[in-house]
């Protein structure tokens, strides 16, 4: 309980700062926290909001599943072939730090303006960290594990499922945590640019209309959901560590 209290106080301080900012900013085009919460209530009762949210959720869900499966598979593949891993690592790190939004027009040209472009863009964001973490987990696996498995007479399948997978799991979960966050970012940026639905579109559209309460309400709700989901994965992560 005590370790939750501190962060809660910090969040409260953040809201206070926001309130102060609301009073300072000229003619208060910045809505107050209270106005934002009221707008949240309005949105939560609005079927259109739920339609947009489900669009985002759908794209995000598919992107997460595909990038998780793909990232783990690619990571294992690259990690097993030591040379392949060494060749790929700097390329992947470079791709990771590239502002992927630059490449979004290419994705749009290939996939068109529909939801598949946003899914692809989400995967572009989420795939790389998971691949990197999985690959490094395997490359850094203590050799003694494999040797112990060999001494115990395990087959290679048994070794993979009872020794290697459990050993790399903590790092895979860390990678997944990062991957899921970035997937969401990818989908949302995709919606903010050149889309006609989804929460990202809702934010840009509201911004164009000058409807700041909606912008903030949506952004804060997404932030809260993302924080909660991350907290859950983080707890899972910690429960696996001794």
Partner 1 sequence: MASAPATPAPAAVAVPTASPATLLRLVVIVAAVGALEIACRVGWVPMTIVLPPSVMAESLWQLLLSGSHTRDIVVSFSNVAAAASLAVVLGFLIGAILHTLPPVRGAVEPLLASYYAVPTFMFYPVFIILFGVGSGAIIAIAVLLAIVAMITATLNGIDRIPLVLGKTARMMRMGPIERALKISLPAALPYLFTGVKLSVAYAFIGVIASEFILSGAGIGHAIAYAYNNFDNRTMYGLMLLIVLAVTVINAVLDTIDRRLQARLRR
> Which residues would be at the binding site for partner 1 (CB under 8 A)?
3, 5-7, 9-11, 21, 25, 29-30, 83, 86-88, 90-91, 93-94, 96-106, 108-110, 177-178, 180-181, 184-185, 188-189, 192-193, 200, 203-204, 206-207, 212, 215-216, 218-219, 222-223, 226-227, 229-231, 234
**Distance in Å, CB of 180 to partner 1, minimum:** 8
Q: Which is nearer to partner 1, 94 or 158 (CB)?
A: 94
Cβ-based nearer residue to partner 1, 7 or 166: 7
> Cβ 117 to partner 1, closest distance in Å?
12
DSSP collapsed to 3 states, 29-90: CCCCHHHHHHHHHHHHCCHHHHHHHHHHHHHHHHHHHHHHHHHHHHHHHHHHCHHHHHHHHH
Listed residue (167, 185, 170, 80) closest to 128, CA to CA: 185
The alpha carbon dihedral of 42, 47, 52, 53 has a sign of positive
Closer Cβ to partner 1, 169 or 227, answer by number = 227
Helix, coil or strand: residue 154: coil
Instruction: Output the smallest distance, CB 100 to partner 1, in A.
Output: 8
CB of 145 to partner 1, least distance (A): 21
Counted residue by residue, the chain has a size of: 242
d(Cα 163, Cα 242) in Å, to the nearest integer? 17
CB of 208 to partner 1, least distance (A): 9
Asked if 31 and 212 count as a contact pair (C-beta separation under 8 A), the reply is yes
Nearer to partner 1, 114 or 166 (CB): 114
CA 112 to each of CA 102, 173, 196, 231: distance values in angstroms, whole numbers, following the listed order: 16, 33, 13, 35
Indicate the residue among 44 and 106 with the shorter CB distance to partner 1.
106
Q: Which is nearer to partner 1, 21 or 44 (CB)?
A: 21
Nearest distance in Å: CB 58, partner 1: 17
In the complex with partner 1, the residue whose CB is nearer, 1 or 151, is 1
**Smallest separation (angstroms) from partner 1 to the CB of 187:** 9
List of long-range contacts for 43-52, beta carbons under 8 Å, 24+ apart: 43/214, 43/217, 43/218, 43/221, 49/202, 51/197, 52/197, 52/198, 52/199, 52/201, 52/202
């Amino acid at each position: 309980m005590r370790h939750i209290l501190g962060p809660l106080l910090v969040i409260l301080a953040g809201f206070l700062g926001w309130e102060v900012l609301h009073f300072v900013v000229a003619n208060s085009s910045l809505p107050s926290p209270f106005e934002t919460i009221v707008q949240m209530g309005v949105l939560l009762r609005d079927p259109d909001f739920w339609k947009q949210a489900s669009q985002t959720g759908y794209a995000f869900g598919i992107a997460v599943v595909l990038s998780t499966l793909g990232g783990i598979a690619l990571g294992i593949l690259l990690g097993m072939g030591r040379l392949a891993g060494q060749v790929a690592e700097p390329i992947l790190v470079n791709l990771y730090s590239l502002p992927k939004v630059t490449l979004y027009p290419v994705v749009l040209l290939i996939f068109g303006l529909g939801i598949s472009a946003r899914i692809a863009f989400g995967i572009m964001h989420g795939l790389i960290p998971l691949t990197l973490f999985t690959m490094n987990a395997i490359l850094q696996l203590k050799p003694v594990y494999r040797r112990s498995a060999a001494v115990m007479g395990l087959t290679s399948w048994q070794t993979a499922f009872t020794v290697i997978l459990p050993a790399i799991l903590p790092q895979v979960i860390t990678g997944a945590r990062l991957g899921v966050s970035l997937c969401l970012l990818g989908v949302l940026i995709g919606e903010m640019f050149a889309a006609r639905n989804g929460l990202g579109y809702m934010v840009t559209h509201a911004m164009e209309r000058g409807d700041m309460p909606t912008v903030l309400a949506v952004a804060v709700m997404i932030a809260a959901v993302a924080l909660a989901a991350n907290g859950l994965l983080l707890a899972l992560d910690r429960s696996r560590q001794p």
